[in-house]
Amino acid sequence: NEIVIATNNAGKAKEFEALFAKKGIKVNTLRDFPEIPEVEETGVTFEENALLKAETIARTLNMIVLADDSGLKVDVLDGAPGVFSARYAGEYKSDAANNAKLLHELTNVPKEERTAQFHCTLALALPGKKSLVVEGEVDGLILSIPKGDNGFGYDPLFYVESKDKTMAELSQEEKNTISHRAVALENLEKVWDEWINR
Ligand code: ITT
């Protein structure tokens, strides 16, 4: 009962650790395997990138590997930043720079047109098995001013109507009940046993 999460993102790693601890599954991340080189995300879809990360690392380690490719899709920007969410303001830029760029792109866009979704695609891979892919999304609105200090990435700008809070104002526990990542993991759980025993 052990899994490797193919991520270098500390925010994602923390959420997965909490989500898998409940199931009694030990989580390793790429921090535990510093010798493994970073997988370049050359795909144009969340699914391509998730499969690329999961299958490359699974082949290297010969272990069950879960990869998360996720991002923010803003309707008025035709789904941008999408798969480019981590590098929206440029390669190696900070979350703050990405958030600033997003606000700039949405200058003068009225509140009712600032609808968005957080998207998460998970790929589960083990050499010799056909990989499994599941998805999850959560709806929100992009605020004009960041609010809250929890979470990571675009969380301070992502307002969740049902909670009347941004993702960054939710505790990690609350975020982990409603997030795109949590929804995707629920979908993974439904097919997990069948996949493992296939
Ligand atoms: P790994 O590939 O190593 O997992 P990454 O950060 O490069 O890390 P992605 O390519 O999947 O991962 O990019 C995801 C980006 O989308 C992430 O850097 C954030 O900017 C954004 N994002 C994803 N999930 C988020 C969340 O729960 N809250 C806020 N922003 C999120």
CATH number of the CATH domain containing 137: 3.90.950.10
How far apart (Å, rounded) are the C-alpha atoms in residues 89 and 99?
8
Tens digit of each residue's pLDDT (9 = 90 or more) over 48-93: 999 999 999 999 999 999 999 999 999 999 999 999 999 999 988 8
pLDDT of residue 19: 84
Q: What is the DSSP letter of 52?
A: H
Q: Dihedral through CA 145, CA 149, CA 152, CA 155, nearest 10?
A: -40
Crossing angle of helices 180-196 and 10-21, rounded to 10°:
60
pTM for the complete prediction?
A: 0.96
For a mutational test of ligand 1's pocket, the pick from 5, 7, 9, i.e. the residue with the most ligand atoms closer than 8 A to its C-beta, is: 9
How far apart (Å, rounded) are the C-alpha atoms in residues 75 and 98?
17
Separation of 128 CA from ligand 1 center, angstroms? 28
Structural domain boundaries, residue 141: 2-196
ipTM of the complex: 0.98
Look at residue 165 and give its three-state secondary structure: strand
Is the model's pLDDT at 21 over the cut of 90? no
Separation of 198 CA from ligand 1 center, angstroms? 30
- Of the listed 32, 68, 69, 149, which one is catalytic? 69
Separation of 70 CA from ligand 1 center, angstroms? 5
Q: Model confidence at 181, in pLDDT bands (50, 70, 90)?
A: very high
Residue 42 neighbours by CB distance under 10 Å: 8
Encode 104-162 in three state secondary structure. HHCCCCCHHHCEEEEEEEEEEECCCCCCEEEEEEEEEEECCCCCCCCCCCCHHHEEEHH
Look at residue 4 and give its three-state secondary structure: strand
Known active-site residue 69: yes
Q: How many domains does the chain have?
A: 1
Is the model's pLDDT at 1 over the cut of 90? no
Q: Model confidence at 163, in pLDDT bands (50, 70, 90)?
A: very high
